[in-house]
Amino acid sequence: MKAILDAGIGIKSICGGKGTCGKCRILILDNKALPPNTSELKALSNDEIKNGVRLACQQNFSESLNVYIPASSLTEEQKLQVTGAEEKVEVEPIIKKYFLKLDPPTLSDMKSDYFRLKEALFNNYSLNVNKIDNLVLKEMPKILRQNNWQVTVSVRTSFVGQTLPLNQTSSISQDGTVSKDLGQSQTTPVSQASPLSQPSSKSQTLNGGQTSTVNQSLPVDQTSHVDKTSPKSWPSPVNQNSTVSILNEQNGLNYLSDIDDIGDINNLNEFKNINEINEIIFIEGGNKTNDSYGIAIDLGTTKIAVLLVNLNTGENIDKAGIMNPQISFGEDVMSRINYAMQSASNLENIQRVVIDQINKAIEELCQKNNIKKEEVLEISLVGNTAMHHLFLGFDVKQLGLSPFVAVTSESIEIKARELGIKIAPGGYVYLLPVIAGFVGSDHVAMLFASGIYKEAGNVIGIDIGTNTEIVLKSSNKMESVSTASGPAFEGAHIKYGMRAAPGAIERVVIDKDTCMPKIQTINDKDPIGICGSGILDAIAEMLKAKIIDRRGKFISQSNCICKDDKGELRYLLDPKASKKTCDSSTVSITQKDIVEIQLAKSAIRTGINILLESAGIDFTQIDKIIIAGAFGSYIDPKNVVDIGMFPKIDLKKIFQVGNAAAVGAKMVLVSKSLRAKAEEIAKKINYLELTVFPTFTDNFVKSTLFPEESN
């Protein structure tokens, strides 16, 4: 397996090499197949073993070996939903470009290059720059002189400071203490030191490359030069003698105020004493003010959505949907965590493959659109907590063990180059906060972009995947759960399951009278397997056609099923097949497949039920269900209700919004107000641990059953 992966071949590995999924079948050539081990005896048929088929993950060879990897063992290209429903957002760039024509130095004007640049930015644009990336500083003299002192400077603004619990007027005194008025004599020390050495509660900046540890200090890092010599006459971005509320207005940072229209969850009785860091992250020759680009990424367990965005206009320039190459280390999150936990080099490997893939996607998108990758100034990335941690190279041991806690639940910004990502020299990657061990920043982005947080009434947001995250926004709170729905919807653990690739059955309708299936396959190819939406359809249709009962059992008297040579019951999905071909060559649904779907749908329904229970409402009070995510875009809501995965609600209340997480990532890329707003919303989400809920087991067992009747 390792040799195949090292050769850059994408081979399926759902179980992460444990020998249990049977998806990594290879043919050992030259009669060199070793006797099968116990895992192979279980996973392979007698014929396969006899013919030299083995599991790649179970092979251990000390000499060269020729193997044949069948297409069915290769990771397939998949139908990917990259974007979703998107409202136009007002652009408030985190990074702005400024064109400068500088006077060259003379014997009577011997200011340093950097001072000259800052002075020009202040004089021309009233911009007080107080930081420059070290690499950019190093290159600056050359760029200034080579371009006749006419350059474009990219300045990134970030905010750092304290979060103060204020529900009354407060002020900061000259000695740096915050006093609360209105009769409260309590004081809170802010800091005696310069604002640039204060701890940040706003975001974390990571230093030190791939083995980074979280540094709670401000981004005064080894890769940047912080200037402390601004002329005294320049206005300070934060006037520490003013009252906090005035500071807020002066800096135009009162962007949190527009979300207090949604009850308690948005009653933001706190205020950020925010300092502004203006950092030069890129200097180019000539006037390049129009060329300002960013990348928004939704890093999924299976797929990665990449958007190339114009930072000046907020428009999407291009997009790419690519596979997450970490699939080769295990299809589900736990398999990857297990792999990464084994050694530092494993962690490095699994981080490297995804970074390489992202670099490749950026490179291709830039090339296609005639953009230099250095012109990409910022990346915003969202993902589930495991993807987030593996991307950053964080230790994931604590994610794999109860109580499954994240390293941090705050937003992070890190120099892209420290991760090996190739964009502008001083460019950053920004990551929204994660909520808990299994509720990541993709969930925050989804509920932010879909607007669930500001919906009236009781609204459920759901992103179906290997882990399904569900949020319920009720009248005064937002609660989220993560439920292990498993990889069945990705085609794993299903006999003929596959991803949504060409040849996958994606739609199934069964004629109740004849039992004959009508199928639709991706790209109208002959059926070679079935993907998640097809499996859901098939189960719902088999229920309606009374091929299976409420418990999910095949009705043995049904004429619609057949028995294969091992005595296993099947419903054949290929309309061309007759019962005579009731063998392994025909795509079909088995009893075990039905059980897998029952477990997956039960996990989701249990999550919904417990959220409703926690909010003290029942399903009749649900005003809306928003289905986000790639898989959610392809499912038929009626079938989802019919099999009981969702409560029986009016279908008009169900909305499919596509990849809202990617849209959320894009929103926080193009607007600093939205970035701050999303971070605030993340703090309002209350995570519920399902398994400790008293009714969890009962709910789960009941939810495995199919509803009484479906139409």
Q: Which residues bind ligand FES (CB under 6 A)?
A: 13-15, 17, 19-24, 55, 57
Cβ nearer to ligand FES, comparing 13 with 357: 13
Identify each DSSP E strand in 139-287 by its residue range.
150-164, 170-172, 177-180, 187-189, 204-207, 213-215, 224-226, 271-285
CB 254 within 8 A of CB 272: no
Q: List residues bridging with 178 in a β-sheet.
A: 172, 188
Cβ nearer to ligand FES, comparing 58 with 441: 58
Instruction: Provide φ and ψ at 399, rounded to 5°.
Output: -80, -25
CB of 24 to ligand FES, least distance (A): 4
Q: 3-state class of 680 per DSSP? A: helix
Q: 3-state class of 68 per DSSP? A: strand
Give the angle 450-454-457 at the CA atoms, nearest 5°.
105
CB of 335 to ligand FES, least distance (A): 9
CB 144 within 8 A of CB 434: no
CB of 467 to ligand FES, least distance (A): 19
Q: What's the length of the chain?
A: 711
Tokens found for residue 657? 């919004």
In the Cβ-directed half-sphere of 507, how many Cα atoms lie within 13 Å?
12
Cβ nearer to ligand FES, comparing 57 with 220: 57
CB of 19 to ligand FES, least distance (A): 5
Torsion over CA: 67, 71, 72, 76 (sign): positive
| Residue 517 CB contacts under 8 Å (≥ 6 apart), including other chains | 508, 509, 510, 511, 538, 541, 572, 573, 574, 575
Cβ nearer to ligand FES, comparing 284 with 596: 596
CB of 18 to ligand FES, least distance (A): 6
Cβ nearer to ligand FES, comparing 170 with 349: 349
Residue nearest to ligand FES (CB): 57
Cβ nearer to ligand FES, comparing 498 with 660: 498
The 569-572 sheet, strands edge to edge? 562-563, 569-572, 588-590
CB of 345 to ligand FES, least distance (A): 19
Cβ nearer to ligand FES, comparing 20 with 179: 20
Identify each DSSP E strand in 195-256 by its residue range.
204-207, 213-215, 224-226
Cβ nearer to ligand FES, comparing 14 with 309: 14
Tokens found for residue 421? 């990502």
Cβ nearer to ligand FES, comparing 15 with 387: 15
Burial 183-195 (b: 16+ CB within 10 A, else e): eeeeeeebeeeeb
What is the rounded distance in angstroms from the CA atom of residue 514 to the CA atom of residue 656? 33
CB of 334 to ligand FES, least distance (A): 13
Cβ nearer to ligand FES, comparing 23 with 672: 23
The 478-483 sheet, strands edge to edge? 654-658, 624-628, 459-463, 468-473, 478-483, 685-687
